[in-house]
Amino acid sequence: MLEAILGPIYTFSFVLGLGFAVISAVFSSFSGDSDVHQGDMVSSHELVHGGHEADHDAGHDAGGAEHGDSNLTTPSILSPMTISVFATSFGGFGICWQKVFGNNFAPMGAVAGVIFAVVVAVFTFYVFALIFRETQSTSNVRLDDMIGLPGDMTVGINDENPIGQVVFAAKGRRQVSMARSADGKPIEKNRKVNIIRADNNYVYVQE
């Protein structure tokens, strides 16, 4: 009786886990370019009258990476990835067990399949957690990394609007930050600038 039940369970578990992994990989490839910063949608009016909100966003953009190591996140061990690995490993092990032993030792095969799947899932989780943490750590942009980088003004700086917005590339990623003029001179929108210095609130730019 148990042998007849375990066969379909192994097959279903293997197909479900493998199918979920394939679907997740396909969908993640389409969502890779969805990292658009809120700063892109900040208008000149909001930069002038935003007050506290502008300072908060600027601190997040320009200085957040300075403390990035303390904000690193780790995937959950019960994430869809580890669950799909567990299901695939359990089903695959069970199918192989039945191929080798047939209907003999069915309970032992089920227990061994669970143990094997747990080991594989936990190992996979720790490998991906290490990769994820290393990727986050190396992608963080520190304040010193910004100095000397070229950028484009997306919101200009003038007497009425002393806080602008600059877009620049750092560590292979597009960054957006609030900006002030380093020498106090106005800077028009779409002008090329260089970052002279940076703090936890702003980057200071100059043409």
All structural domains of the chain with their residue ranges: 2-31+68-139
Token pair listed for 108: 């032992």
Quick: pLDDT tens for 142-199: 777 778 889 999 999 998 888 899 998 877 778 888 899 988 889 999 999 999 988 8
Quick: pLDDT tens for 102-152: 778 888 988 999 999 999 999 988 888 888 776 665 556 677 777 888 999
Q: How far is CA 207 from CA 27, 40, 118, 184, 204, in A?
A: 42, 21, 58, 11, 11
Token pair listed for 146: 């910004």
